[in-house]
Structure 1
Amino acid sequence: MKKQFLKYILLALTPLAVVSCTKFDDSYYENPNKPSKASGTQLIANAEFFLPSLSSSAYGVHYPQYLSLTTYTDNTRFTTQNFDFETWYVGPLMNLEEVLTKQDGLSANEGPIANQVAVAKILKAFFMWNVTDRWGDVPYTDAFKGTDLPNPKYDKQADIYKALFKLLDEANAEIVLTNGTIKNDIVFKGDMAKWKKLGNSIHMLMALRLSKVDANLGKAEFTKALANGEMTANTDNLAYPHLAQAAHQNFWYNSFTALGRKWYALSEALVNLMLPNDDPRLAVYGDKNAAGDYAGLTFGKAVPNPDVDIPKVSLLGANIRKQDSPVPLVTYAQLLFAKAEAAKLGWIAGGDAQAKTFYDEGIKQSIKQWTGSDATAAAYLLNANVVYNPAKGFEQIATQRYIHVFPYGYEGWAEWRRTGYPALSVAADINGGKLPRRDGYPTSEAANNKANYEAAVAGFPYGGADDLNSRVWWDKP
């Protein structure tokens, strides 16, 4: 990592991929590498540019089998074992670290400094959570120190989680709601009440990840964040906005329309979950095929035939791939499903009765988020497979969450790894018949950060090699 970090420090404040924006203060367009005074909100905006990349990913959508490929199917056959994480460190995380380490240089003209710092902490926790959930143990304590420490050690994932819980606690306590708006905020336009809810909601979702590996800590963190106030409506959702212009357009629009690639189709696994229950979200997730039906594509075909397959299957839905289609990341329905599971686990009061209430409302809010109305929710909830059954409660909650977080593949994949639901499988000739359970470390780490890399691999919590099949800490066998 030594060579990379020397180089990356020079790039730390430059967005690696400017994918979208909204209207904000003209001062944003100043060069963040040469400001007259450090701009915390410009650095935050730079970090926010990376948010859609968490969901709009040419790899992540395939791990939980949300999408199959009609053409060039290597990504659905998991041929790539190792993935770079440097982009996240030198992009959004370094921008946020600048805000946190240079607070004395921030300008109150851009909004209360306490709020700039709190937002930076929430976003740092969110990005770092995604990084550690993909790779497991990664650099954290020693990261961001550049030439002073070019070969950072890897922190245990358990310790990273605890550090991120602390970061979110600090953000919640620091936020100033009265006259607290900050400038240049792409996602919430400086609304600190929404940032407070988001931070606590992320905290709750992170806590639920610990259900099998450290339930006591998970329960304590979940209930603490819940008491601090989480999302209460779809209007609180973290959904990254795109614009109807080429410079700031949706990833899927670029693939389908700008490049003319009809590569992404709904998978058989997803369609087979949704179609038998007349799920109203299916019409949003995918388009009808040439015959006027919904059909999923076999996952990971070794020899694709796009001329034959494309007319027969449902491609990714037109409403999701508009030029200005938003990217949902953390949502109210997701929180409702988390609370349903927490009630089922006994983390919060109410047992199965309360779990059913949250589960039903989660479905209603999910349908409303995706279709614009909950008018079809009542009929959907009458399906025998959908009606809450305490004996199958965990599976039903997990399945509905899986359907809802589409197409945020990394989140759907994380929850599948944790719960085992829905049942997914791959052909024997794909990764030895196994779905991935983590991403392999960047290949450069073995050469440039050899001692720390080898210590991380030797310390895998459940053994294994640096490949797709070892498990992260919370993914307890």
Structure 2
Amino acid sequence: MAAAGLLFACDKQDFVDINNNPDALNSIPPENQFLNATTGIHGQDFEYYYDVYRRIMPWMQYTTDVNGNQGAFTQNVDNFSQRYGRQYNGVGDRLYDLEQLVLKMDAATQPRYTNMVQIAHILKAYYTFYVSDIYGAIPYSEAFQGRYGGTLQPKYDTQQQVFAALDAELKTAIATLKQTPTTPQISLGNYDQYYKNDATKWIKAANALRLRIAMRVLKADAAAATPIINEVLASPAAELMSSNADGWIFKAIYSFTGTDANSNWNPTTLRAPKPIVDFMWDKKDPRIDAFFAPNGFNATNIALLVKAGKLPAGTPVPARRYVGSFTDPDVSRQAAIQQQYYTADVVDGVTIDTLSYLQPNLWSAGINSKTGFSYLPVITYAEFCFMRAELATKSLGTGTAKAWYEEGVKSSILWYDEIAKGAQAPDYTAVTDAEITAYLAMPGIAFDNAKALEQIASQSYLNFFKQPQEGWALWKRTGYPNATSVVPLPTVKNLGATLVIPRRAPLALINETDPNVANKQAAYAAMAALPGFGNSPQDAAGRVWWDKP
């Protein structure tokens, strides 16, 4: 964890010199750029404030505003998305720099950085995929090269081309990392916040990423995706994730995600959503207290209410203290609903709320204490299991859908147990094996082959609570959850009109003075020709290439 501090210990003059003299890059250790890129990916408080907390999570009903979802909230795409700019100023460019730093070394030294370069390729592939995933065509094959004598007007690669290039890079990285080095390797060590330079685990991560990308592509180009899926799943077991210890997770000290109410990471105004809370309560889901905080009706506050004459003497603490907020604006604005659920009692300066909020430490470990850890997942083992379960329903890979589904549910529960304890979440009780066993036997949870895909997707959706961006992608890719699925995603309305959930990032307006205007115009025109792209480049309800009905 201490390595995160290395980023801020770097000599700022190095970065000044880079902008004036490309040769100054020689003075920066390549591993420094890996850490810079890593924190560039995960340290984005604006992305969480806008993209995650106030856009994707409400759209996917992972949370609501403090008074329930309001008005045409799905049409709010202001300040969305933050990820595109980071690709070219903080992530992709840093990882490209890493490789260029190695290429500037003498021929005898370069081979000592072979594994480091390939690990950087894996990380760059992830973030490039993350950006293209919601934007479609982006500059890639000619990007990042301006500082090194390349073009300052890079062409845009289509999403299909980007995804194919990323798979090829990942495949090469895996093959290289599998080889025994011919010369001792320079280790990333603590500069690698994920796996501490463990090549075996990076191979597993790269294979999981290949699988995630291929599953995005499956509807759009099955002929391209299916061989990749078969190839990954035919890999030796040692090259595939097999436990939560293999998960691709960024883990940092509590302060990484803020420590006070003014932090953009602060989730304390975000309500727990009624559909998920009701489901988890009814099914006795062991993750409920990892996801959400109990409402204000504890013994101390009930005593205050009794003393104030607002409750009769002897009122017990309610058996249920997890109560969700209404996700439908037309419901949440009803006067009776507002009075019953959104009008908190205030006694002696203490606000006693009927509704639950998100579990704050799950998102910002430093909010309630100055200890513990922050966890920011890239690909969890549970996601890998759910991908395999879904593919098993299509007779792809080994093992049964039931076995992979149950392994996914177990590993998800245990992972949330690990991070809730690690983040020192208040009001959290550790999970027991008996709870997991009972949960897997619950109606709607116990595997039903007739509802296999629905159940797998519903549990994937819950597992993506800490990765709402992937929950959004899951919904686009599978159609689950929906209004009638095991875990429901109810239709939301404003003034009687059904609201449309966005499906991609609105593209920036074209500026005629942009030096790369010709390539941008050509890319926009090509995307506009794709079925379902939308009424304009700014139409967030449109679809990118992989997002097929």
TM-score between the two structures when normalised by the length of structure 1: 0.84
* Equivalent pair of 1:68/1:300 in contact (CA under 8 Å): no
Q: Give the deviation of 1:358 after TM superposition.
A: 0.6
Rg: which structure is higher?
A: 2
Percent of residue pairs bearing the same amino acid type: 27
Map residues 192-211 of structure 1 onto 2, 5 A cutoff. 192-211=199-218
Note closer, same or farther for the CA distance 1:132–1:258 as it changes in structure 2 (3 Å cut).
closer
Per-residue CA deviations over 1:363-396 (Å, capped at 9, x if unaligned) read 1111111124561211100011011111110111
Matched with 2:220 is: 213
> What's the CA shift string for 1:337-365, capped at 9, x where partnerless?
11111111112245xxx110011111111
Shift of residue 143, structure 1, vs aligned partner: 2.2
Task: Figure out how many residues of one structure are paired with residues of the other and give that number.
Answer: 451
User: Relative to structure 1, is the Cα distance of residues 110 and 238 closer, same or farther in structure 2, using a 3 angstrom cutoff?
Assistant: farther
Corresponding residue to 2:66 among 65, 70, 77: 70
In structure 2, relative to structure 1, the CA distance for the partners of 1:407 and 1:346 (3 Å cut) is same
Does 2:530 match 1:460? yes
TM norm structure 2 = 0.74
Which residue of structure 2 aligns with residue 343 of structure 1? 392
Paired with 1:170 and 1:259, the residues of 2 have a C-alpha distance of 37
CA deviations on 1:79-105 (whole Å, 9 max, x unpaired) are: 126645222222101111112344323
Q: 1:403 to 1:177 in 2, by over 3 A?
A: farther
CA offset digits 1:258-304 (Å, max 9, x no partner)? 99763112222322332221111111000011235212222374898
Cα separation, 2, equivalents of 1:131 and 1:74: 29
Instruction: Pick one of 187, 195, 199 that aligns with 1:188.
Output: 195
Query: What secondary structure is seen at the aligned counterpart in 1 of 2:416?
Result: helix
| Higher RCO (C-alpha under 8 Å, 6+ residues apart) | 1
Query: What residue in structure 1 maps to residue 273 of structure 2?
Result: 267
For 1:21 and 1:435, the matched residues in 2 are separated by 40
Equivalent pair of 2:146/2:152 in contact (CA under 8 Å): yes
SS of the aligned residue for 1:67 comes to coil
Q: CA RMSD in A?
A: 3.3
Question: 1:67–1:256: structure 2 CA closer, same or farther, 3 Å change rule?
Answer: farther
Q: Structure 2 vs 1, CA of residues 230 and 429 (structure 1 numbering), >3 Å: closer, same or farther?
A: farther
Aligned CA distance change for structure 1 residues 172 and 461 (closer, same or farther; 3 Å):
farther
Task: Map 1:256-405; keep pairs closer than 5 Å.
Answer: 262-291=268-297, 293-299=321-327, 301=329, 308=343, 311-320=353-362, 321-323=364-366, 324-350=373-399, 354-372=400-418, 373=431, 375=433, 376-405=435-464
Q: Deviations over 1:12-50 (max 9, x none)?
A: xxxxxxxx8636879973455345544221111111003
Q: 2:327, 2:26 → 1: CA distance?
A: 53
Letter paired with 2:35:
A
Hey, what's the Cα distance between the residues in 2 that align with 1:214 and 1:206?
Answer: 12
Which whole-Å deviations, capped at 9, do the CAs of 1:396-455 have from their partners, x for residues lacking one?
A: 101111101212111110011000111133224699611111111123567633523542
Q: Which amino acid aligns with 1:45?
A: L
User: Who is 1:17 aligned against?
Assistant: none
- Alignment match, 2:234: 227
Change (3 A) 1:235 1:112: farther
Note if contact 1:67-1:264 (Cα within 8 Å) is conserved in structure 2: yes
Corresponding residue number in structure 2 for 1:48: 38
Point out where structure 1 has 5 or more consecutive residues left out of the alignment.
1-19
Distance 2:109 2:76 in 1: 50
Using the TM superposition, name which of 394-403 and 449-458 deviates more: 449-458
Q: Counterparts of 1:151 and 1:74 in 2: how far apart (Å)?
A: 41
Q: Match for 2:276: what amino acid?
A: L
| Paired residues for 1:153-168 under 5 Å | 153-168=155-170
Look up the SS of the partner of 1:50 in the other structure. Answer: helix
SS of residue matched to 1:208:
helix
CA separation in 1, counterparts of 2:139 and 2:4? 35
1:255 shift after superposition = 5.0
